[in-house]
Each structure stands twice: as structure tokens, then as C-alpha cells.
Amino acid sequence: MPNTSHFLYGANVRANGIRQHYLRYGGQGPTVVIVPGITSPAVTWGFVAERFGRHFDTYVLDVRGRGLSEASASLNYGLDACAADVAAFTEALGLGSYQLVGHSMGARIGIRLAHKHPQGLDKLVLIDPPVSGPGRRRYPSQLPWYIDSIRLAQGGITIEQMRQFCPTWTEEQLRLRAEWLQTCDERAIVTTFDGFHQDDIHADVPHVKVPTLLMVAGRGGVIQAEDQKELEQLLPGLQLAHVPNAGHMIPWDDEEGFYAAFGNFLGHALTPANAA
């Protein structure tokens, strides 16, 4: 089977008062917007978007302060601003009805979006969202893990240095992260990390009115059994999918297991790489 890319182009749009950068794949089928995690510029999700691009008109967003989207000392990096960005992004591009796939930070953005800016949102996929918050168990990762690696990347990090932070990743994955991590604004990362512990997304969950899939990493340590049970109680009808052999970075740890976990939730299965 020829290795044909579904990448169309990268572009910028002014929405919610800032420059938002995105990558587009596929261009046909239902619209999917992918919102990555705390230190994942859009380009690092390109391999996932390639698979999505087979069946969906796929947009991968650089969240403010990451990748090629706007960053500055005066920018608000809070959860409300990020959720408003996605709403303004979809409106500016005239996407109409869309499905949102959010990983980690992106999933928390999706929850806040579904509550505060539900216009056009058709379905929501929450990939291993941090369930920390006021009075709750802390997020298992530590802030220095992010900041130390970003500062090294700003000075020119080597593959071996990056491997110390992500020891299970392939050389290709490490190389891409080493290239792009320096685009993550430290102020944005600190604000997001603090928000993991200050923002009460559980208060948003009962207001989610669209079909929602929660994907849980079996080895992530982010969502535990009691967390899953609470979310099911807060959002009756919540669909569940588990990827038992993956850590928090699910598509990096078990890519095919990640795609299989979607099933037909988005309206089309994400077929295996060797399938026609």
C-alpha cells in the first residue's frame, strides 16, 4: 500500500483575539478537531491526524502558548481562555458541527468548552483527562519535569537528553519532541499545570450535553477506578474505553490500541495501518 500522506496544509487564523495555528488533514468527511496536551504542539500529533485524515476532515490545534500559536507575557493562559479559543476557532473557520478529541489538557479544555461554548459541538472524546482539582488528589506528573525539559530544549536539547525524560519513546518520537518542545511557553505551561489543581472540571461535567467517550490509560495512573465511577455518576450515558497497555501518552505507547478504543464512536472506525 503506498504511503500517501493525508496532510493538506498548516495555517493561521485570528480568533478570540489571537493568532491560532493549526494543521489540516484529510479534508473530507465529518469534522474532527484535535486538542493536544500540555506540552504537545500540533505537529507532534501529526501521526494521529494522518490516521484520522483517512475518514475525517481533521484539524489539529496549537493551543495558545504552544507551537506556532500566539504567546506573550500578557496573554491569559487559563482554562476559560483556551476553551473560548476553540469555540472562536471553529466559528472563524465556519466548521459548523464538529467532534472534539482532547488529550489530557485538551480533554479538560473540551469539558469546559462543552459547558460554556456548546454551539456546534456534536461529540466529545476525553483522552485520559487529569481529574485533579480543588481538594482532590494531585496530578501525578511534577511541574519540573516539564520546565526542565523545556529549558533544555530552548538551549538545543540532544536526543539522549530528551530520552531521560521520555525513556520509552522511539528515536523518531524523541527527535520530534526535541525539535518542537522549545515552542512551549513556560508561562503557559505553569498556568495550565496550576489549573490542573485549581480548576474544578467536575463542576462542568454535568453540563455536558453531547455524547461523550472517556478513554482511560491502563498504566497512566491519571484516572483510577474511583475517578471513573464518579465521572459516570456525574455524566450518565458516558461511554468508556480502556487501553490497558498504555501510559498517559496513549498513542505513543499503544498506537493501534488507541485507534481501536474509539470503535465507531465518531461514526467511522479508525482502520488499522495495513487495512485498505
Task: Report the pLDDT value the prediction gives residue 276, as an integer from 0 to 100.
Answer: 44
What local confidence, expressed as pLDDT, does residue 1 receive?
Answer: 44
Residues 158-203 pLDDT 10s: 999 999 999 999 999 999 999 999 999 999 999 999 999 999 999 9
Instruction: Output the average pLDDT for the chain.
Output: 96
Whole-angstrom distance, CA of residue 200 vs CA of residue 112: 10
pLDDT for residue 275: 53
Q: How far apart, in whole angstroms, are the C-alpha atoms of residue 165 and residue 131?
A: 23
- Residue 58: what pLDDT? 98
Q: How large is the average pLDDT for residues 83-106? A: 98
Query: 102, 112 in Cβ contact below 8 A?
Result: no
Banded pLDDT at 272 (limits 50, 70, 90):
confident
Is 271 a residue whose pLDDT tops 90? no
Q: What mean pLDDT is predicted for residues 224-247? A: 97
% of residues, the chain, pLDDT over 90: 96
Distance of CA 210 to the CA centre of its chain: 18
Q: Give pLDDT, residue 227.
A: 98
Judged against a pLDDT cut of 50, whether residue 142 lies above it is answered with yes
Q: Out of 30-39, 133-142, 230-239, 263-272, which region has the weakest mean confidence (pLDDT)?
A: 263-272
Gap between the terminal Cα atoms of the chain? 8
Each residue's pLDDT tens digit, 236-261? 999 999 999 999 999 999 999 999 99
- Residue 273: is its pLDDT beyond 70? no
CATH class of 7-140+197-262: alpha beta
pLDDT of residue 155: 97
> Using an 8 Å Cβ cutoff, are 270 and 47 in contact?
no
